[in-house]
């Protein structure tokens, strides 16, 4: 089984959200369709701009916790390292 840590953005350099899941496609679909009440729905944070895959749930949880502690500038650098155009990666993982 795979586990994922992901970063959503409202737009380039916009509001960021970090989450985790074992079903990345379904979870991002829920965010995009605002089926998960709260922060992402309220601030329209629906673009998948970064994700990482893990084989162990403990490693995923540890990475999520660390990323949430990072400075905003570090998170932006992480996104731009792999996704310099801030593309919505959701379309690439569902096809």
Domain boundary assignment for the chain: 3-71
**Average pLDDT, stretch 14-27?**
98
Q: What is the model's pLDDT at position 36?
A: 80
Topology of domain 3-71, CATH: GIY-YIG endonuclease (3.40.1440)
The pLDDT tens digits of the residues spanning 44-88 come to: 999 999 999 999 999 999 999 999 999 999 999 999 999 999 999
Q: What is the model's pLDDT at position 58?
A: 98
- Count Cβ atoms within 10 A of the Cβ of residue 90 and give its class: 0-12 exposed, 13-18 middle, 19 or more buried: buried
> 27 near 21, Cβ under 8 Å?
yes
**DSSP one-letter string for 29-68:** HHHHTT-STTHHHHTT--EEEEEEEESSHHHHHHHHHHHH
pLDDT exceeds 90 at position 3: yes
pLDDT exceeds 90 at position 6: yes
pLDDT exceeds 90 at position 32: yes
């Amino acid at each position: 089984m795979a586990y994922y840590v992901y970063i959503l953005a409202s737009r380039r350099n916009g509001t960021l959200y970090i989450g985790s899941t074992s079903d990345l496609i379904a979870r991002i679909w829920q965010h995009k369709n605002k089926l998960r009440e709260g922060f992402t729905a309220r601030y329209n944070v629906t673009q998948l701009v970064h994700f990482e895959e893990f084989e162990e749930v403990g490693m995923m949880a540890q990475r999520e916790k660390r990323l949430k502690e990072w400075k905003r500038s570090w998170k932006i650098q992480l996104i731009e390292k792999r996704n310099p155009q801030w593309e919505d990666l959701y379309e690439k993982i569902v096809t």
